[in-house]
Structure 1
Amino acid sequence: MNNEVIVRLAVFISIFAVMAIWEFLQPARAAKIGRNIRWRSNFAIVVIGALVSRIVLPGALVGVALWAENVNFGLFYRLSFPLWVTVTLSVLLLDIVIYWQHRWFHRIPLLWCLHKVHHADSHVDTSTGLRFHPIEIVLSLFIKAFAVAALGVPAIAVVIFEVALNGFAIFNHANIRLPRKLDDLVGKVLITQRLHRIHHSQRWQESNTNFGFSVSWWDKLFGSYTYEASKDDNKILIGQKDYPATAGNASLLTLLSLPFHKSKKNKSKPIPK
């Protein structure tokens, strides 16, 4: 398990460093408030979320996978697939779980109150990929833990999935813009930065699309894919209208308390079934 943490951290730092430098040198969009203000809060909240997760589930998802293996629990332990098939199917199924989890957090008002912390960021960059309320982090952890146990996902598949999930979260939130032809090509398989910025639009018709964190297949398969926004990528209004780009709205205290602000109207609209 210690090796799993080291691998995840090493990959995370590497991808974050590359994307952060890239967006610093060639930013796709200009931020409305200083990066230091946003980054302090975005980094602080992910640290809090990580600490809470370790307290709630000390063994993390790998621990759940090892438990399932020890007691021979879960679907894949009832089947006789080769390891590579089990690992491949496990990663794909976990990715589908995350896709639907994301949709639920937009569709269900109580869950949206938590997920809104992520969408209230007035600018999308690498740090936005870290910005989730600790309660959402814990709920997501339990959803994934249930899936890992029920499916009997091998520990190696959990590591691959978690590394990929973290890496793609940094990649598609980065404030960069691929050349359009390359974006179109990559977007046939992956959620690019341009496609994910559509998901962060203030227009609910756009923010309730492109839910995938990695591949674009699930959005296409389940009818939630948007290829073009109503405005040019440079002109999409990012964030939430009721949380304008101010230093106060970017503070850690605001991020932690945002789900409990009764005066803030839920802007998320129902998603077509």
Structure 2
Amino acid sequence: MTNEIGWRLGCFFSILIIMMLLEWQKPARHSPIKARTRWFANFGLIFVSSVVARLTVPIGLTALAISNQQQGFGLFNNINAPSIVIVVLSLILLDILIYWQHRLFHKVPMLWRLHRVHHADIHVDTSTGLRFHPIEIVLSIVIKIAAVGLLGIPAIAVLIFEIALNGLALFNHANIRLPQSIEKPLRLILMTQVLHRIHHSQKVSETNSNYGFSVIWWDKLFGSYKNEATKTDEELDIGLKEYPKAKQNASLFGLLMMPFKGK
């Protein structure tokens, strides 16, 4: 697709810079670790993940979507419906898929070993939205490849979804607190920063809630929505109790090895 990389990188870095500037100007919470220490590990992890993903899954999702369309493979490539309807349905189905993928990574012990790298961060900011183990990234890509292939999702829907997935992950992990006049109506649709920090609580019942990365609809529909935590947003204990030390969360090598150590 023309200018796909430009669109994706342009949106990604624009949102990243805006969120980091807002965090710097008016942070919601103060980090127990120096930002540059956490950022080296978190941004380093996304670099490693990108390299590993490129080497293990060389085909891109949009390229796959275009190939499927040309060959008439997949559900949506074999039904007669307006393009806008297919795109909207594709976005909804991909969103639900990622919601259930997220829940699965919390419920299956072997998958939780990978996903706890994300939750072990003892502070949540924009960089946390990029902090995922390379194996989890690869598994997520494989799941999306299967969905794009079987459903015949069009390339434009893939591009929109990937931009939204990355952009909203940066947005709802940002260490900011929106004014109540904005946050209150916004949380009726989107997963705001306050709602998502509940998901990063050390309390298990709160960690296992608010799985959505974009809208709150699926959490409400499938019974995992939590409107507020037992503690205020300022006092909420972030991270995992089994990783309380700063050095366990600020080492790139430690994060890469985390799934293979401990219970």
**TM-score range with shorter-chain normalisation?**
over 0.9
Distance in 2, matches of 1:93 and 1:191, equals 18
Displacement of 1:143 in angstroms is 0.3
Structure 1 range deviating more: 10-19 or 175-184:
175-184
Displacement of 1:182 in angstroms is 2.0
Give the equivalent residue in structure 2 for 1:65: 65
Whether contact under 8 Å (1:15, 1:167) holds in the other structure is: yes
Give the equivalent residue in structure 2 for 1:55: 55
Whether contact under 8 Å (1:115, 1:136) holds in the other structure is: yes
Distance in 2, matches of 1:247 and 1:98, equals 31
Distance in 2, matches of 1:34 and 1:8, equals 29
- Can you give the 5+ residue segments of structure 2 that lack an aligned partner in the other structure? none
Structure 1 range deviating more: 39-48 or 57-66:
57-66
Give the equivalent residue in structure 1 for 2:213: 213
Distance in 2, matches of 1:140 and 1:61, equals 12
Distance in 2, matches of 1:203 and 1:248, equals 19
Give the equivalent residue in structure 2 for 1:15: 15
Distance in 2, matches of 1:176 and 1:76, equals 40
Displacement of 1:53 in angstroms is 1.3
Alignment of 1:84-233 (within 5 A): 84-233=84-233
Displacement of 1:59 in angstroms is 2.5
Give the equivalent residue in structure 2 for 1:249: 249
Displacement of 1:58 in angstroms is 1.9
Whether contact under 8 Å (1:33, 1:245) holds in the other structure is: no
Displacement of 1:2 in angstroms is 6.5
Distance in 1, matches of 2:171 and 2:249, equals 25
Distance in 2, matches of 1:245 and 1:214, equals 31
Whether contact under 8 Å (2:124, 2:175) holds in the other structure is: yes
User: Letter of the aligned partner of 1:74 in structure 2?
Assistant: G
- Can you give the 5+ residue segments of structure 1 that lack an aligned partner in the other structure? 266-273
User: Letter of the aligned partner of 1:115 in structure 2?
Assistant: H
* Percent identity of equivalent pairs: 55
How many residue pairs get matched?
263
Distance in 1, matches of 2:73 and 2:207, equals 38
Distance in 2, matches of 1:35 and 1:249, equals 12
Give the equivalent residue in structure 1 for 2:235: 235
Whether contact under 8 Å (1:190, 1:214) holds in the other structure is: yes
Whether contact under 8 Å (2:38, 2:250) holds in the other structure is: yes
Displacement of 1:184 in angstroms is 1.6
Whether contact under 8 Å (1:119, 1:240) holds in the other structure is: yes
Distance in 2, matches of 1:201 and 1:257, equals 23
Give the equivalent residue in structure 2 for 1:29: 29
TM-score after normalising by structure 2? 0.98
String of CA shifts for 1:160-189, please: whole Å, max 9, x gaps: 000000000000000000122321210000
Displacement of 1:247 in angstroms is 3.0
User: Letter of the aligned partner of 1:25 in structure 2?
Assistant: Q
Whether contact under 8 Å (1:33, 1:247) holds in the other structure is: no
Distance in 2, matches of 1:150 and 1:230, equals 42
User: Letter of the aligned partner of 1:180 in structure 2?
Assistant: Q
Distance in 2, matches of 1:196 and 1:96, equals 17
Whether contact under 8 Å (1:27, 1:176) holds in the other structure is: yes
Distance in 1, matches of 2:226 and 2:64, equals 35
Distance in 1, matches of 2:42 and 2:235, equals 24
Displacement of 1:202 in angstroms is 0.3
Whether contact under 8 Å (1:37, 1:247) holds in the other structure is: no
**Runs ≥4 residues deviating over 6 A:** none
User: Letter of the aligned partner of 1:68 in structure 2?
Assistant: N
Give the equivalent residue in structure 2 for 1:41: 41
Structure 1 range deviating more: 57-66 or 165-174:
57-66
Distance in 2, matches of 1:44 and 1:69, equals 36
